């Protein structure tokens, strides 16, 4: 794997870990929804995840990361559709998709 791709995937890993840190042990949707600073911080990390994945895809369009294209699309939605960002959708991404992505990225980085 190219060194640059590894760097981008590491950036994804760090952003996922940052989101986990921001949320702490208590994952409360209503706390998330009522805390603008927390929402913006998590949205920014999702932007970083999407941009890093976009850059990795440019270097290797066949990278074996599930849902890589959807990750980039999410980044575009958060940035360009800022007025339509739905807290429920973001929460679903945080709760359901990021844990699986973290495992996938960790495994990918370990085998390289």
pLDDT digits (tens, 9 = 90+) for 30-86: 999 999 999 999 999 999 999 999 999 999 999 999 999 999 999 999 999 888 899
Q: What is the pLDDT of residue 112?
A: 67
Q: What is the pLDDT of residue 111?
A: 83
- Give the pLDDT mean for 14-43: 95
pLDDT exceeds cutoff 90 at 89: yes
pLDDT exceeds cutoff 80 at 110: yes
Q: Say which residues have a Cβ less than 8 Å from residue 83's Cβ, sequence separation at least 6.
A: none
Q: Say which residues have a Cβ less than 8 Å from residue 16's Cβ, sequence separation at least 6.
A: 45, 49, 98, 101, 102, 105
- Give the pLDDT mean for 11-35: 94
Q: What is the pLDDT of residue 52?
A: 98
- Give the pLDDT mean for 18-30: 92
Q: Determine if the pTM surpasses 0.85.
A: yes
Q: What is the pLDDT of residue 26?
A: 81
Q: Say which residues have a Cβ less than 8 Å from residue 104's Cβ, sequence separation at least 6.
A: 65, 66
- Give the pLDDT mean for 100-112: 91
């Amino acid at each position: 794997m190219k060194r640059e791709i590894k760097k981008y995937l590491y950036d994804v890993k760090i952003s996922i870990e940052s989101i986990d840190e921001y949320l702490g042990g208590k994952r409360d949707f209503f706390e998330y929804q009522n805390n603008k600073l927390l929402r913006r911080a998590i949205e920014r990390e999702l932007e970083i995840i999407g941009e890093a994945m976009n850059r990795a895809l440019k270097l290797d369009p066949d990278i074996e990361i599930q849902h890589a294209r959807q990750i980039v699309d999410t980044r575009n939605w958060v940035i360009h559709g800022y007025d339509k960002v739905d807290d429920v959708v973001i929460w679903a991404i945080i709760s359901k998709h990021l844990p699986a992505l973290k495992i996938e990225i960790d495994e990918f980085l370990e085998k390289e």
